[in-house]
C-alpha cells in the first residue's frame, strides 16, 4: 500500500511508507503530508504506525515518533525541531509566537476546537524522555533536523542535543515552523 507524501518525496521513495506526526494542534496535510497522524483530532491508527518504514515527528510530534520507535525498533525516525527540554517552555513558546508566529490556514483553525484535549495530550507527550531514547538509538536509523533560526522554542533543545554529542543537521533560514527546505533534506535522506 502506497502512502502519500509531498510530491518531492513521492518521486524518490515510491516504495517506502512514511508517516508524518505533526506538532501541537497542527496537521500533516497542511504541510503536504496526507499520510499523517491526526493526533490532536482523533485516536491513532496504531497498525498504520507499525507498518511504516519512516516516522517524521515535528516539534512535540517527535516525542510520539520516539515512543513508537521504542515499540518497533525497525522504524527509522526523522525528528524536525524536537522539543526535548521542558525548562522554560511557556516563556520559549511566547517568544516563538512573537518572533515566528504560527501558520493558521483554514484547515488548521478547525483543530483549535481540540485545545482542551490537546493540552492533555501535550502533557502526556512531555513525559516521554526523548533524550534517553535518542541516546540509545542506532544513528543510522535517526536523523535530527533543526532550523538554525529556531532560537526561541527549540534553542534549548539544540544545545541539549549538541552537549550530548548527538548529530543534528541545522538548516539555515529555517525556524521552528515547517519549511519547504525541510522537505528537500528529508527527500535526500530517504533516497
Q: Show pLDDT as tens, one digit a residue, over the chain (191 residues).
A: 223 334 444 444 455 799 999 988 888 888 888 888 988 888 877 788 888 999 999 999 999 999 999 999 999 999 999 988 877 677 776 777 676 666 666 666 566 667 778 888 888 998 999 999 999 999 999 999 999 988 777 777 888 898 889 999 999 999 888 899 999 999 999 98
**Residue 40 and residue 111 in contact, taking contact as beta carbons nearer than 8 Å:** yes
Domain ranges within the chain, ordered by starting residue: 7-190
Q: What does the pLDDT read at residue 106? A: 64
Bridge partners of 77?
55, 142
φ, ψ for residue 146 (rounded to 5)? -135, 135
Say what the pTM is.
0.83
Q: What does the pLDDT read at residue 129? A: 94
Say whether domain 7-190 belongs to CATH 3.30.230.70: no
Amino acid at each position: 500500500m502506497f502512502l502519500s507524501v509531498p510530491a518531492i518525496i513521492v518521486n524518490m521513495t515510491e516504495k517506502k511508507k512514511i508517516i508524518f506526526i505533526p506538532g501541537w494542534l497542527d496537521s500533516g496535510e497542511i504541510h503536504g503530508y496526507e499520510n499523517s497522524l491526526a493526533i490532536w483530532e482523533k485516536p491513532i491508527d496504531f497498525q498504520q504506525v507499525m507498518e511504516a518504514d519512516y516516522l517524521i515527528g515535528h516539534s512535540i510530534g517527535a516525542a510520539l515518533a520516539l515512543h513508537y520507535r521504542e515499540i518497533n525498533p525497525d522504524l527509522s525516525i526523522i525528528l524536525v525541531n524536537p522539543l526535548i527540554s521542558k525548562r522554560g517552555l511557556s516563556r520559549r513558546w511566547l517568544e516563538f509566537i512573537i518572533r515566528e508566529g504560527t501558520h493558521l490556514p483554514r484547515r488548521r483553525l478547525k483543530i483549535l476546537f481540540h485545545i482542551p484535549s490537546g493540552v492533555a495530550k501535550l502533557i502526556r507527550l512531555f513525559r516521554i524522555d526523548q533524550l534517553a531514547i535518542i541516546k540509545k538509538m542506532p544513528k543510522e536509523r535517526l536523523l535530527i533536523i533543526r532550523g538554525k533560526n529556531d532560537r526561541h522554542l527549540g534553542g534549548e533543545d539544540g544545545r541539549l542535543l549538541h552537549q550530548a554529542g548527538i548529530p543534528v543537521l541545522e538548516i539555515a533560514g529555517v525556524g521552528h515552523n515547517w519549511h519547504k527546505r525541510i522537505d528537500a533534506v528529508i527527500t535526500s535522506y530517504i533516497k
